[in-house]
């Protein structure tokens, strides 16, 4: 299998704090992958290292087998839409398309113009005067005009209203079908991911908690409900991801390595969202009640 993006014990430190640490993952070609995690988990840092904007402090990142930092030739193969789609706001969309042609070695201006025309965007208005959804579409069209093998998007839909979000995802999925580009997009809107992404990377507290194809995650995780469990082994369970208990009942989200046949447990298939949330909670470090000086 060919990997478009590989990281190996990748790390980035800001001062004394690790923004990304021990990050090892392999993203196969042709996937649409979601990079999920709370704010501050290191998603943007990871994407910036992949696009060569940041130099790793530990380990390695490779895109198409090469280290992106300082490799300008490789950059023509990577499309990047940064958070809040920063564009030169006084330029019109048509001017940005022309500018892209001068700055990039491979540039499909006709593709960008066709896409923007299909969306009915005005070519002659400064992009700073467009709506957030329209600006996001311009940024996507510019990124796609490079005809990249890898497309990285940092929170592309976070600030969009529901209609603009849907239109953006429609444009993205349509172009993925046309170009076969591999996509890694960070998001914390889990509801969109189940349909758009076929691969998930969960990042929490600067580390990768989970990475894999979504259909495998669905078959390899189960929710168990049963009488209070003391932590002993359960047949078919490889690991307990998250557990909550009352005095009588235990509710577990588990990773399985076989069928769970013990009739004591009610077994359910969790949604992708439930599974991701369980891994996010696992990496969560909260302040205790005592730190606030109140009773638990």
Partner 1 sequence: MIEFVLDGRSKVNTYVQLVQQVKQALRVGMLTPGDQLPKVRDVARSLAINPNTVLKAYRELELEGLVEGRPGVGTFVKATLASAPMSDQAELRGDLVAWVHRARDAGLTPDDVTALVQTTIRASYPRQEEHA
**List of residues contacting partner 1 (CB under 8 A):** 30-32, 166, 169-174, 176-178, 194-198, 271
Nearer to partner 1, 20 or 272 (CB): 272
Q: Which of 215, 232, 218, 212 is nearest to 275 (CA)?
A: 218
Residue 169: CB minimum distance to partner 1, A: 4
Nearer to partner 1, 178 or 257 (CB): 178
Residue 44: CB minimum distance to partner 1, A: 23
Distance CA 245, CA 226 (A): 10
Describe the crossing of helices 162-179 and 132-145 by its angle, rounded to 10 degrees. 10
Residue 203: CB minimum distance to partner 1, A: 21
Distance CA 222, CA 87 (A): 44
Angle at 258 between CA 213 and CA 24, to 5 degrees: 35
User: 215 by DSSP, 3-state: which?
Assistant: helix
Distance CA 130, CA 128 (A): 6
Distances (CA, A) of 94 to 82, 105, 126, 137: 20, 18, 9, 13
Angle at 110 between CA 109 and CA 113, to 5 degrees: 85
Nearer to partner 1, 22 or 194 (CB): 194
**What residues are paired with 172 via a beta bridge?**
none
Residue 172: CB minimum distance to partner 1, A: 8
Residue 207: CB minimum distance to partner 1, A: 26
Nearer to partner 1, 61 or 276 (CB): 276
Nearer to partner 1, 95 or 194 (CB): 194
Residue 89: CB minimum distance to partner 1, A: 28
Nearer to partner 1, 8 or 194 (CB): 194
């Amino acid at each position: 299998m060919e990997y478009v993006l590989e990281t190996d014990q990748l790390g980035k430190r800001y001062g004394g704090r690790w923004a990304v640490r021990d990050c090892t993952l392999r993203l196969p070609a042709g996937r649409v992958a979601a990079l999920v995690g709370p704010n501050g988990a290191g998603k943007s840092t990871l994407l910036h290292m992949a696009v060569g904007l940041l130099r790793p402090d530990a380990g390695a990142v490779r895109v198409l087998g090469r280290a992106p930092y300082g490799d300008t030739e490789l950059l023509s193969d990577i499309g990047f839409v940064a958070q809040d789609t920063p564009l030169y706001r006084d330029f019109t969309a048509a001017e940005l398309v022309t500018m892209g042609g001068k700055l990039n070695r491979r540039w499909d201006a006709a593709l960008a113009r066709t896409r923007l025309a299909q969306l009915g965007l005005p070519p002659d208005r400064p992009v700073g005067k467009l709506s957030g959804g329209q600006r996001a579409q311009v940024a996507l069209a510019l990124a796609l005009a490079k005809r990249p093998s890898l497309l990285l998007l940092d929170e592309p839909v976070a600030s969009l209203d529901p209609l603009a979000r849907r239109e953006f995802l429609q444009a993205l999925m349509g172009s993925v079908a046309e170009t076969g580009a591999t996509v890694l997009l960070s998001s914390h809107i889990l509801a969109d991911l189940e349909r758009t992404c076929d691969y998930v990377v969960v990042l929490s507290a600067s580390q990768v908690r989970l990475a894999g194809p979504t259909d495998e995650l669905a078959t390899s995780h189960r929710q168990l409900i049963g009488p209070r469990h003391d932590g002993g082994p359960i047949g078919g369970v490889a690991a307990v991801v998250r557990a909550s208990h009352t005095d009588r009942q235990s509710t577990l989200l588990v990773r399985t390595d076989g069928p769970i046949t013990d009739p004591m447990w009610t077994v359910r298939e969790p949604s992708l969202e439930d599974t991701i949330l369980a891994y996010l909670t696992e990496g969560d470090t909260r302040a205790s009640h005592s730190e606030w000086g109140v009773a638990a």
